[in-house]
Amino acid sequence: MLRLPRSPKTPNLPRLLSKLSALIIPHSCPLCSRMVDREGAICSACLSQIPYIDRQTCSICGNILGFDYDPGEILNYTCGECRLHPPPFKKSLSAAPYEGGMKKLLRKFKYDGKEFLGGEIASIIFDRCKEMISGNNFDIMTGVPLHIKALKKRGFDQSFILAEHIGGMSGLSQTPEIIVRIRDTASQTHLRRRERIENVKGAFRLAENAAAIIKGKKILLVDDVSTTGGTIRECAKTLMKGGAKEVSAITAARA
């Protein structure tokens, strides 16, 4: 996204204009329209209605399990799918279920052009995943890329925006364009599990000169929604084949 440099004579002009616009046209919560103090901010009432995933999940892929267990007894339960077909990533963690407020927030972010919501969504991801981010000493963080056609249509890549904000919170800078989406895949939303897996198979490749960047590195992928984990799996496979030491992923929601 093109950013015009600030004039050295008026370094606080954008901030001043923002404050003036807030007085003239007050900002509202994107979920309920209550007044808030800044653009994109979510009011406390709505934020409390976006719960973290609090059910038991697979310790690798993060899928919600269909039964309960005592975390004190089984700390690292692995689902049957991950035991039978170990994924190429170490761990995938999502902040919230893809429902209610989180679903509405992501749809406004992606499909209504509300790019400014990226910071609030990233804050939710970081709050849920900060222990994983800080405890794994990642070398590189990058977003799951859109195909160039989708990027031109939307005008921005939501995963890169989330990664950029998370980088500002964590100190882990984003390294874009490590992988490239080479097929304009259909939306995963309305596909069945097997269709989702086939839809993204072979959809990514390493970017030019990326092999030297990722060799022996621990990489953190960032995406908006995880469904079957097929997209994360394909990205991780591409990165591991390219020489990465380890790949993990964080997403805003789990569908």
Radius of gyration for the chain, computed over Cα atoms and rounded to the nearest angstrom: 19
**Average pLDDT of span 156-162:** 95
Residue 19 in domain: no
CA 177 to chain centre: 15
Identify the domain containing residue 151 by its residue range.
41-254
Residue 5 in domain: no
Residue 34 in domain: no
Give the C-alpha separation, 201 to 182, whole Å.
11
Predicted local confidence at residue 12, as pLDDT: 52
CA 23 to chain centre: 32
Residue 113 in domain: yes
- What does pTM read for this prediction? 0.84
Give the C-alpha separation, 225 to 28, whole Å.
25
**Average pLDDT of span 10-24:** 54
Question: Could you tell me the end-to-end alpha-carbon distance of the chain, in angstroms, rounded to an integer?
Answer: 29
Predicted local confidence at residue 9, as pLDDT: 40
Quote the tokens at residue 27: 């900002």
Predicted local confidence at residue 11, as pLDDT: 45
DSSP 57: B
Read off the CATH number of the domain in which 206 is found.
Answer: 3.40.50.2020
Residue 31 in domain: no
DSSP 158: H
Residue 29 in domain: no
How many distinct structural domains can be found in the chain? 1
Residue 134 in domain: yes
Give the C-alpha separation, 57 to 79, whole Å.
8
Q: Which helix (H) or strand (E) holds 152?
A: helix 148-154
Predicted local confidence at residue 6, as pLDDT: 39
Categorize the per-residue pLDDT at 86 as very low, low, confident or very high, splitting at 50, 70 and 90: very high
Residue 207 in domain: yes
CA torsion through residues 53, 56, 59, 65, sign: negative
- Cβ neighbours for 90, distance < 8 A, ≥ 6 positions apart: 60, 246, 247, 248
Percent of the chain scored above 90 by pLDDT?
Answer: 56
Predicted local confidence at residue 186, as pLDDT: 66
